Structure 1
C-alpha cells in the first residue's frame, strides 16, 4: 500500500513514544515517521524519564498502562514537571474516551485501542496545535 501524503507540513518535530508493547511502539513509529516526525520509542517509565531529561521533545505519545504499578500518567506528570505545557497523547485499550475525560487532564488528547491511523494523527495534531 502506498504511503499517504503527509498531513503535517512543518519543521520536523520530535516525539517520545512510550509503550510496553513493542508491536504497538513499532506501529506508532511507522505511522508518525511517515508524517515526518522524528521520534524515539521506549518501553518503560525509567527509559522515558531518562529520555525526557536528556532530550528536548515536542510531545509525548504514551500508553496509559505501562505495567504493574506504572502508568502513563506518571510519565506525563514527570514531563510536565519539566515543561508545564508539554503536549501529551494518551493511548489505552482499557479506558473509554468518556472515562478519560473524567481524569480532567488539561492539554491532553486520548486515543482508544484499537485506533486508526487518522485517529492517531488527529490526536497528535490537536495535542501539538497550541505549542
Structure 2
C-alpha cells in the first residue's frame, strides 16, 4: 500500500542554487503548481537538507559554493532515492553527463521555461512512483531474461543471486530492453519511453544511461555484450540463446518502424 507521503498532493521540493533571484522565481512558480518549496544557497547546507528525507525532489545548480553540484549529486544518490534534476549552463555539457552518471534523473540547461521544468519533474515522479499511474506501461510484476531477474513490485534487479543497484531511469531503461530483447530500439523511442520527452539529436542522456547499465550489468554469461550499439539508430539487447544472432527490427509498441540492417551494430 502506498504511504501517506507517496499519496501527498503537495510534492516537497528542495531548490539548491546560489542565485537567490532564480530561487525566488522557482519558488513562486512551483508554489503555483501546488508544491512546497525549501531553498538552500550552498552545496553543504543543500546536501544536509537533501539527506533529511523530507523532500520528494531536489533541483540543484552545478555551480555551488562549499560543495559543487556534482559532489552534492554523488553524495545524495549514494544515500537517497530522492528525485534529482540538475540545472546547468550551455558550457557545462560534460558536467551534465557526469551528473547523470552520478545518478541524477535528468538535467536542464539554463535559461529554461519553468513549465518545462515542471513537466520533467512530473515525468520523474511517474517513473519513481509507477503505482500512482494507472497505465505506466513500464513495470511488469516480474521479468526474467537469461541471468537477469527484474521485480517490478520492489523495483529490484538481480543478476543470478546478486542484487544490482540501479537508478530509476536505469531500471526503466532495462525493463524496456528486456521486454524488447533482440529488437533494435531507436534512441528517440527509448528517450520517450523512459524520460517522457521528445528526442533531440544533441541529447546524449540515453547513451550515458546505457553506458552505466553496461558497466553495472557486465557481459552475458557467454561473454557477449548485453547491450549492443547500432550505428546512427540506437541499441539492441542481445539474448544469450541459440537464436541470439537473429536480431529483429521490431520497434517499441506504438512507434514507427525504422529500417536498419542488424549488420550496422558496432
Q: Which TM class, normalised by the smaller chain length?
A: 0.7 to 0.9
CA distance in 1, matches of 2:13, 2:26: 11
Gaps of 5+ in 2: 1-7, 129-266
Q: Which runs of 4+ in 1 moved over 6 A?
A: none
CA distance in 2, matches of 1:35, 1:110: 20
Query: 1:119 deviation in Å?
Result: 1.7
Q: Equivalent residue of 2:92, what SS?
A: coil
Structure whose alpha-carbon radius of gyration is higher: 2
CA distance in 1, matches of 2:33, 2:118: 9
What's the C-alpha RMSD, in Å, of the aligned pairs?
2.2
Match of 1:128 among 114, 125, 128: 125
Closer, same or farther in 2 for the Cα pair 1:40/1:103, shift >3 Å? closer
Closer, same or farther in 2 for the Cα pair 1:19/1:103, shift >3 Å? closer
Match of 2:26 among 28, 37, 52: 28
Moved more, 110-119 or 74-83: 74-83
Gaps of 5+ in 1: 1-9
Match of 1:108 in 2: 105
Residues 68-109 of structure 1: per-residue CA shift (max 9 Å, x gap):
x732121122222222x321111112324x872465434511
CA distance in 2, matches of 1:51, 1:43: 11
* Aligned length in residues: 119
Q: Equivalent residue of 1:95, what SS?
A: helix
Taking the TM superposition and a 5 Å limit, the aligned residue runs for 1:1-131 are: 11-67=9-65, 70-83=67-80, 85-93=81-89, 94-96=91-93, 100-101=96-97, 104-105=100-101, 106-131=103-128
Higher relative contact order (CA 8 A, sep 6+): 1
